[in-house]
Structure formats: C-alpha cells, structure tokens
C-alpha cells in the first residue's frame, strides 16, 4: 500500500518523504449520547476549537435517563457546531432483527431527532452490527451514510483510512474503538500512518469514542472510555497537525454531504422514505 509510517522506538511514527496529496481528514465520533460526553468531552472539544459528531440513542433521552444527555444539552452542543445524529432508539444490535424492528430502531430514532429540531444525516451502527439489509433500511429511513467500527488498521499493510468519497457510504470504515487501555501513541499512530499513505489521495480517519470518564468522577467508566487528560492530549496533537497543514477535522456530515431527507413514515404509508421499502 505504498509508503507507510513505521513505529519509531518512542512509540511515534517516522514520516516518509512521500505522503498523501491532501491533508488527512479526521472525524471525532462519540457514540451513545452519555452525559459524561457533555460534562467532560464537550468542554475539551470547545477548548480546542474542534467539532465532533455525536451519535445518540434517543430512547434514553426521551425517557429522561440521567446517564444520557437531555434534549437541551444536545441543542447546546449543536449550537456550538457539533453534529447530532443517530445511533438507533435503544442501541440495538441491528443485524439479527426483522426488517420491521430495524425500521423502528433506525427510522424512529431519526424521526425523534428531527422532531426535536435536528437534521440527522448519518447513522452509526451499534456494535458495528450491519449487513446489506441493514444498509438498505438505513438508506430507506433517510440517512446518507452508515458507520461501522472496524476496517482501518495500524498494520503495515493497512488500509490506513477510509476513502473520500467512500466506496460504500453505508459501511464506512474506522480504526478499532479506543479503550481505556489504548495508548495516546496508538491514537496518534492512526493519523501519522494516514499522513504517510500514498495509496490514495486523501485518507479519512474516523475515531469512535464512548465514555469520557476518570476514576472518581462518578459511575462506572467501563472498558470503552477515554480519560479527560488523554482526550485533551490527543486533541493537542491534532491541533499541532492542523497547524502544520497535515490534518483537517470535519464532522461526518461535512465529509459525506448529501441532502437532508424528510421524516420516514415507514409504519403507515412509507411517505418521506428514500426509495422503495426494503
């Protein structure tokens, strides 16, 4: 796959002379809409002048679950330039579900976001669970893209990023989900590998974060968490790469584009849905 970045002794990456023809596009994604993302992640993003995409489950928000963001908090983030979009109603494992249940989880989640004043255009599949049927329902419900949780590698063979435009916008690829044990150098490596990738003009690297959580801040952080200090240090790194002209940070919608489609009335007459029923 062309020139690649090699792990240096200090855990960083040595840049080759040949690199991508344009800056690497990085998307900061946060899944599930948990309140710690608002309390801790959102201030760190704004302090660094960066925008992110928040994929939220509307079921807990509608139910007033205190572990998830409120509609007011989501609007506060949207007003600051964050993308607020869908992740199914109940964080459902979509692949085993019937078409009707998939339509409920995907369409009704999107419809709830629209009803509350948002313009959701991109979906993240919970657990990275998808197949061709899930892709068809995602499009039918009005989304312009669907995001997985794999496909980008730090191995020397790559691939080091998704293409722009993606070959399949309903199965866009990402590095593995960062976990509590994931090192800062590993987060940085996905960027520097993409900077050195000569196999395509521009690499798109999507990060899939979950909780922003430190021991002692309340609640159970779990395995899929990033500390405030590590998130801040990673954004410091990104801002350095931005300043050097090697990286741009964009939301998913800014990368994917496409129209804002109307509410999908899948459970009545199918009006507003994109294309024929799956």
Token representation of residue 132: 């061709």
**pLDDT surpassing 70 at residue 28:** yes
Overall number of domains in the chain: 1
pLDDT grade, residue 9 (50/70/90)?
Answer: very low
Q: Does residue 62 carry a pLDDT above 80?
A: yes
Query: Does residue 187 lie within any of the structural domains?
Result: yes
Written as one string, the DSSP assignment of 26-38 is EEEEEEE-BHHII
At residue 17 the predicted structure's pLDDT band, cuts being 50, 70 and 90, is very low
In the predicted structure, residue 7 carries a pLDDT above the cut 70: no
37 Cα distance to chain centroid:
13
Q: Rounded mean pLDDT of the chain?
A: 92
Angstrom distance (rounded) from CA 115 to CA 9: 52
Q: Which helix (H) or strand (E) holds 61?
A: helix 58-62
pTM above 0.85, yes or no: yes
10, part of any domain: no
pLDDT at res. 220: 80
pLDDT of 22 reads: 84
Q: Is position 78 within any domain? A: yes
For residue 216, what pLDDT is reported?
66
Alpha-carbon distance of 110 to 58, in angstroms, equals 8
Tell me the mean pLDDT in the region 130-146.
98
- State how far Cα 161 lies from the chain centre: 13
pLDDT of residue 181: 94
DSSP code per residue over 101-168: HHHIIIIIHHHHHHHTT----EEE-GGG---HHHHHHHHHTT-SEEEEEEE---STT---SB-SS-SS
- Report pLDDT digits (tens) over 153-193: 999 888 999 999 999 999 999 999 999 999 999 999 999 99
Flag whether 5 is in a domain.
Answer: no
Lowest-confidence pick of 4-13, 90-99, 209-218: 4-13
Q: Model confidence over 186-235: pLDDT tens digits?
A: 999 999 999 999 988 999 999 999 999 997 665 689 999 999 999 999 99
Mean pLDDT, residues 92-102 taken together: 98
Distance CA 27, CA 200 (A): 18
Rounded Cα distance between 53 and 250, Å, is 9
Distance CA 34, CA 189 (A): 27
Instruction: Determine what percent of the chain is predicted with pLDDT higher than 70.
Output: 91
Give domain status of residue 264, yes or no: no
Count the helices and strands in the chain (H runs, E runs): 10, 12
Q: Residue 18 pLDDT more than 80? A: no
Domain carrying residue 71 = 19-256
Residue 234, in any domain of the structure: yes
Q: Hey, is 3 helix, strand or coil?
A: coil
> Does a structural domain hold residue 66?
yes
CATH code of residue 145: 3.20.20.370
Q: Is residue 208 part of a domain?
A: yes
More confident residue, 140 or 1: 140
Q: pLDDT band for position 76 (50/70/90)? A: very high
């Amino acid at each position: 796959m062309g020139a690649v970045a090699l792990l240096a002794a200090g855990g960083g990456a040595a840049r080759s002379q040949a690199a991508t023809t344009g800056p690497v596009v990085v998307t900061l994604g946060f899944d599930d809409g948990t309140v710690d993302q608002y309390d801790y992640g959102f201030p760190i993003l704004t302090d660094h002048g960066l925008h992110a995409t928040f994929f939220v489950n509307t079921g807990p928000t509608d139910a007033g679950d205190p572990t998830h963001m409120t509609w007011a908090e989501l609007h506060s983030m949207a007003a600051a330039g964050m993308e607020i979009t869908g992740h199914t109603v109940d964080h459902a494992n979509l692949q085993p579900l019937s078409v009707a249940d998939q339509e409920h989880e995907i369409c009704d989640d999107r419809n709830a976001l629209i009803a509350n004043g948002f313009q959701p255009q991109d979906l993240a599949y919970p657990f990275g669970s998808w197949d061709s049927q899930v892709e068809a329902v995602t499009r039918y419900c009005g989304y312009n893209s669907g995001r997985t949780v794999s496909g980008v590698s730090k191995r020397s063979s790559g691939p080091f990023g998704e293409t722009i435009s993606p070959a399949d916008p309903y199965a866009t690829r990402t590095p593995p989900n960062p976990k509590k044990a994931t090192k800062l150098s590993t987060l940085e490596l996905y960027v520097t590998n993409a900077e050195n990738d000569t196999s395509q003009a521009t690499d798109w690297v999507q990060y899939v974060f979950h909780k922003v959580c430190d021991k002692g801040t309340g609640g159970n952080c779990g395995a899929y968490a990033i500390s405030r200090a590590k998130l801040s240090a990673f954004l410091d790194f990104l801002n350095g790469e931005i300043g050097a002209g090697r990286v741009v940070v964009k939301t998913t919608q800014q990368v994917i584009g496409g129209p804002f489609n109307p509410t999908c009335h899948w459970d009545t007459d199918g009006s507003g849905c994109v294309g024929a029923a799956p």
